[in-house]
């Protein structure tokens, strides 16, 4: 996960709510692009607390060509990536201008569980909650749901670092 600022105002207060982060704002917040952008929108962002990422799973997703022909299933690792991207948007919204020039790196994934397959036509709602942060290290828990039913969950950590300058 890598981030650039999308909130150019003052740093938001903890608990400040942002109704919707649309795709244009997501593209300013994180560097991911098709085919690796795994969220379409982020809603119910409560700065420094939680957010819900939305992924509309389409039959046109490139990964369905090989996973699996005749029985399309969204790879679990991509569900985890959607969780991480949702958390990255939450971090950028929380840090505001302090996110400028910073990169968010995955550090660990723990307790990942997959409850049922995610297929074309499903809408993933990824509920991410910040558990804590100490310095540049943030820990999150997430549950991905389809139609209100849990399909995956995980706890993960990320480190926010200054972007290295390219040679």
Residue ranges per domain, the chain? 1-107
pLDDT confidence band for 3 (50 / 70 / 90): very low
Q: Which fold has domain 1-107?
A: Thiol Ester Dehydrase; Chain A (3.10.129)
Asked if 19 and 108 count as a contact pair (C-beta separation under 8 A), the reply is: no
* Chain segment 6-43, per-residue pLDDT in tens: 444 566 777 778 879 999 999 998 889 999 999 999 99
DSSP percent split of the chain into helix, strand, coil, nearest 5: 20, 40, 40
Residues 76, 87: Cα–Cα separation, whole Å: 17
pLDDT given for residue 7 in this prediction: 45
Asked if 150 and 115 count as a contact pair (C-beta separation under 8 A), the reply is: yes
pLDDT given for residue 10 in this prediction: 62
* Chain segment 66-83, per-residue pLDDT in tens: 999 999 999 999 999 999
CA 88 from chain centre, in angstroms, equals 6
- Comparing 15 with 145, the larger pLDDT belongs to 145
Active site members: 67
For 135-164, letters b (16+ CB in 10 Å) and e give eeebbbbbbbbbeeeebbbbbbbbebeeee
- Sign of torsion, CA 107 55 64 111? positive
pLDDT given for residue 165 in this prediction: 54
pTM here?
0.89
CA trace torsion 141, 159, 84, 47 (10° rounding): 70
Residues 141, 138: Cα–Cα separation, whole Å: 10
Most confident of 8-12, 140-144, 161-165: 140-144
pLDDT confidence band for 2 (50 / 70 / 90): very low
């Amino acid at each position: 996960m890598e981030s650039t600022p999308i909130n150019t105002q003052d740093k938001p207060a903890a608990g400040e709510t942002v109704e919707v982060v649309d795709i244009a704002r997501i593209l300013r917040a994180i560097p991911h692009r098709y085919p690796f952008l795994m969220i379409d929108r982020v809603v119910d962002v409560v700065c420094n607390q939680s957010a819900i990422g939305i992924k509309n799973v389409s039959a046109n997703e490139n990964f369905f060509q090989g996973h699996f022909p005749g029985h399309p299933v969204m790879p679990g690792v991509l569900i985890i990536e959607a969780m991480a991207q949702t958390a990255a948007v939450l971090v950028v919204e929380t840090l505001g201008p302090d996110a400028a020039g910073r990169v968010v790196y995955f550090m660990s994934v723990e307790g990942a569980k997959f409850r049922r397959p995610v297929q074309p036509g499903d809408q993933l709602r990824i509920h991410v909650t910040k558990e804590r942060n100490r310095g540049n290290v943030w820990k999150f828990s997430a549950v991905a749901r389809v139609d209100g039913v849990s399909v995956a969950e995980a706890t993960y950590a990320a480190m926010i670092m200054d972007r290295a300058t390219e040679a």
